[in-house]
């Protein structure tokens, strides 16, 4: 059958790249963020389902670490990662707890990339403001979760998703950062 879910997702601090091209051996991090999302599930069988997940964009603040840790916010970007999952759900649909695993195709779409004055001070002192663009990419997302049936029409769901994304950042100063 068809099911729908609305959720709030939280993403903790995460490593963007372990080595910055501007200051070698200085990692760059994204700060913690959250977003609203919605998913639609369709059960193909009692144990196999499809999920389409889409939400509001994640808003990431980009900060330096290592030798540039004290610089503060270097920039910000919004990311929209729509994903389609194929899932295997264990046990019968009427079971109180139904663990599941899934694999999905994700399209990472980046928008509203903005460099700060601090980024310009590091990359192009005295020059025009440094801007950047991040390449959009397809990737895969692994999923592990458990659904708890509260009633015939209501359920609670806890999911951990892990995407492995490798993409490039292109700076207006001519530098490219693989992340």
pLDDT tens for residues 28-52?
Answer: 566 677 778 888 989 999 999 999 9
> Is 25 a residue whose pLDDT tops 60?
no
* Cβ–Cβ under 8 Å, residues 147 and 154: no
Q: What is the pLDDT of residue 68?
A: 76
pTM of the model: 0.79
Cα–Cα separations (whole angstroms), residue 171 to 120, 143, 152: 10, 33, 52
Mean pLDDT of 113-118: 90
Q: Is the pLDDT of residue 148 over 90?
A: yes
């Amino acid at each position: 059958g068809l099911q729908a879910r609305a959720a709030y997702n939280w993403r903790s601090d995460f490593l963007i790249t372990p080595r910055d091209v501007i200051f070698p051996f200085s990692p760059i991090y994204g700060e913690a963020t959250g977003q609203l999302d919605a998913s639609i599930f369709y059960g193909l069988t009692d144990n196999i389902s499809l999920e389409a997940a889409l939400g509001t964009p994640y808003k990431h603040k980009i900060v330096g670490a290592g030798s540039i840790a004290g610089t503060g916010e270097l920039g910000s970007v919004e990311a929209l990662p729509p994903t389609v999952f194929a899932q295997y759900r264990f046990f019968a649909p009427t079971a109180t707890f139904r663990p599941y695993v899934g694999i999905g195709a994700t399209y990472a779409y980046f928008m509203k990339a903005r460099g700060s004055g601090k980024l310009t001070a590091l990359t192009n002192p005295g020059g025009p403001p440094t801007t950047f663009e991040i390449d959009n990419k397809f990737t895969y997302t692994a999923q592990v979760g458990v659904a708890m049936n509260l009633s015939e029409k209501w359920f609670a769901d806890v999911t951990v998703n892990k995407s492995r994304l490798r993409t490039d950042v292109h700076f207006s100063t001519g530098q490219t950062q693989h992340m």
